[in-house]
Structure 1
Amino acid sequence: MEANIKTVSAVLDAPAPHMVGDGFRVHNFFPSGYKIKMSPFFLLDYNAKIEFSARNEPRGVGVHPHRGFETVTVAYHGAVAHHDSAGNSGVIYPGDVQWMTAASGILHKEYHEEAFSKKGGDFQMVQLWVNLPAKHKMSKPKYQDIKQADMAKYALPDEGGVVEVIAGAYRGLEGSASTFSPLNLYNVRLNKSGKAILSFPSTYNTGMVIIEGEIKVNGEQVAKADHFVHFNHDGAEIEIEALENSIVLVLSGEPIDERITQYGPFLMNTPEEIQEAISDYNQGKFGYLEE
């Protein structure tokens, strides 16, 4: 097994936070915070646990467009409501996942759910941007509302914890989300001293966010809460052991080997496609959504 270990490239501190709207205080691990290869994951915004005071008017982000990728929001504390111009809406609570495929173009808004906003409390989320292969960038938008109660769960041996399979597969258990390219997304919830063995192809870009607690990776590196562990493209297997009760968001996927051109909320392959996206947005082709 030793020769087949996927080794740690770096354990990364959370970059300085910034606000997205007035409801999300995020640390951007990539692409701004660190120049690491994580395709098909283009962006990772981590809202570390923070307490929001009670407020009648919900905080959040107003109506804005997206094209060419998917937004995936994973909730740990608090509650987020979503509306989009394709007519989808929903609320995610701790453990739930919202998987929105913007693809050919969508308008959406996301904000603190009303009851949570009025009560206030701890808030902790992750949002990923998952790139789409060129052939799928202009697909029809869709929305997947993935509740924790419905997720495939793998019970780890010796009461070590559980692996919640959001997308991809773990030891034969298929995740709930449908994806456009091969990727895995898990919430690994470990009890103290619990262990999980993960296995991904050496070619996959792989990383993990320590949401809570403290873990030891491959019996060597220690990673604490609010850090990101990035892996090399060598072996396949990763062992994580919890030094205390821990939650780890694991992401691994096959790189999309295509040119990327990004402009704000648009993620396309060429500058010409960006211009087309701006034009289509200005012409109202992304639909309508009330502020």
Structure 2
Amino acid sequence: MPTTFKKVAAILNPTAPHMVGDGFRVHNFFPSGYKIKMDPFYLLDYNAKLEFSPSNTPRGVGVHPHRGFETVTIAYHGAVAHHDSAGNSGVIYPGDVQWMTAASGILHKEYHEESYSKKGGPFQMVQLWVNLPAKYKMTAPKYQSVTNSEMANFELPNQKGKIEVIAGDYQGVKGSASTFTEIELYNLRLKAGAKANLETPAHFNTALLIIEGSITVNGTEKATTNQMVHFAHEGNAITIEASEDAVVLYLSGDPINEPIAQYGPFLMNKPEELQQAIEDYNTGKFGYLEE
């Protein structure tokens, strides 16, 4: 297959922020912020870097249900503690990833970790909702906790940075997380002047989110902190050059191409499945989790 640049469809600015609970001030890039095709990724909320003042009461989001998809939380600054109705709990620190497969249903809550909350400081996170194919929507919930220290890495030549492979495969380096569909999810941590080359099939839905710094894409398109680069379904290669030290989240995935029915924290295929999810939640089938 000949290599051609994957065409940039748009450079997207962050949308107006809104609060999720009292602990997450997010810009939604999709599906409500921009009507872009990113299947199997359904939602991307980005908590751009923000200083939180010290608080003795941790800010966050109280108990809420999920069914039919996965939440992927990527930490850049700050720390988040989480608990669920299956008895799982933990903390994600800068560089860590929490991959929660809600699937058949779970109750969940997430808050600023206690010691971080008491001292305050910069906070920056991404949360993705990754859709599940119909045949996997009612599988058992599970967690994958990927700490930064154990994350798979590809070192760039001449100490110009590294590519953290969260999921997928980058030049033989396999990502730490297992997925239900073909997904490439990387953090590119680039020194000024570093270049990185990416390849992905033309039909994959693909985007870059610039977490820090500024970059040039495919030699011509420039993007800077908090912008998203969305790609068209043309071409299969992407080059990134860091104009300054940069951190870039790369996401690319094979679309599931199934009907979507969504209501609040439920992501199913048919309206009647949403009704069943609501009924199951109201009758306690998602378990119990103390506020």
1:2 CA displacement: 8.7
Runs of 4+ in 1 over 4 A off after TM superposition: none
Tell me the TM-score normalised to structure 1 length.
0.99
> Could you tell me which amino acid in structure 2 is paired with residue 135 of structure 1?
K
**Alignment gaps of 5+ in structure 1:** none
- Which residue is equivalent to 1:85? 85
CA distance in 1, matches of 2:155, 2:173: 11
Q: Deviations over 1:191-245 (max 9, x none)?
A: 0000100000111000010000000000001000000000011111100000000
Secondary structure of the corresponding residue to residue 57 of structure 1: coil
> Could you tell me which amino acid in structure 1 is paired with residue 268 of structure 2?
M
> Could you tell me which amino acid in structure 2 is paired with residue 59 of structure 1?
R
- Which residue is equivalent to 2:277? 277
> Could you tell me which amino acid in structure 1 is paired with residue 214 of structure 2?
E
CA distance in 2, matches of 1:3, 1:50: 39
Whether the aligned pair in 1 keeps the contact of 2:194 and 2:242 (CA below 8 Å) is yes
> Could you tell me which amino acid in structure 1 is paired with residue 9 of structure 2?
S
Which aligned pairs between 1:259-270 and structure 2 lie closer than 5 A?
259-270=259-270
Whether the aligned pair in 2 keeps the contact of 1:50 and 1:124 (CA below 8 Å) is yes
Which aligned pairs between 1:41-80 and structure 2 lie closer than 5 A?
41-80=41-80
- Which residue is equivalent to 1:142? 142
CA distance in 2, matches of 1:9, 1:2: 21
> Could you tell me which amino acid in structure 1 is paired with residue 36 of structure 2?
I
- Which residue is equivalent to 1:115? 115
Q: Deviations over 1:243-280 (max 9, x none)?
A: 00000000000001100000000000000000000000
Which aligned pairs between 1:1-291 and structure 2 lie closer than 5 A?
4-291=4-291
Identity of aligned residues (%): 70
Secondary structure of the corresponding residue to residue 223 of structure 2: strand
Secondary structure of the corresponding residue to residue 244 of structure 1: coil
Secondary structure of the corresponding residue to residue 98 of structure 1: strand
> Could you tell me which amino acid in structure 1 is paired with residue 244 of structure 2?
E
Secondary structure of the corresponding residue to residue 158 of structure 1: helix
| Matched length | 291
CA distance in 2, matches of 1:288, 1:252: 35
Secondary structure of the corresponding residue to residue 71 of structure 1: strand
CA distance in 2, matches of 1:7, 1:95: 30
**Alignment gaps of 5+ in structure 2:** none
CA distance in 2, matches of 1:98, 1:20: 18
CA distance in 1, matches of 2:179, 2:2: 32
1:86 CA displacement: 1.1
Whether the aligned pair in 2 keeps the contact of 1:107 and 1:286 (CA below 8 Å) is yes
CA distance in 2, matches of 1:3, 1:117: 48
Whether the aligned pair in 1 keeps the contact of 2:83 and 2:108 (CA below 8 Å) is yes
CA distance in 2, matches of 1:39, 1:161: 29
> Could you tell me which amino acid in structure 1 is paired with residue 56 of structure 2?
N
Secondary structure of the corresponding residue to residue 108 of structure 1: strand
CA distance in 2, matches of 1:4, 1:216: 17
Secondary structure of the corresponding residue to residue 25 of structure 1: strand
> Could you tell me which amino acid in structure 1 is paired with residue 277 of structure 2?
A
1:3 CA displacement: 5.7
Tell me the TM-score normalised to structure 2 length.
0.99
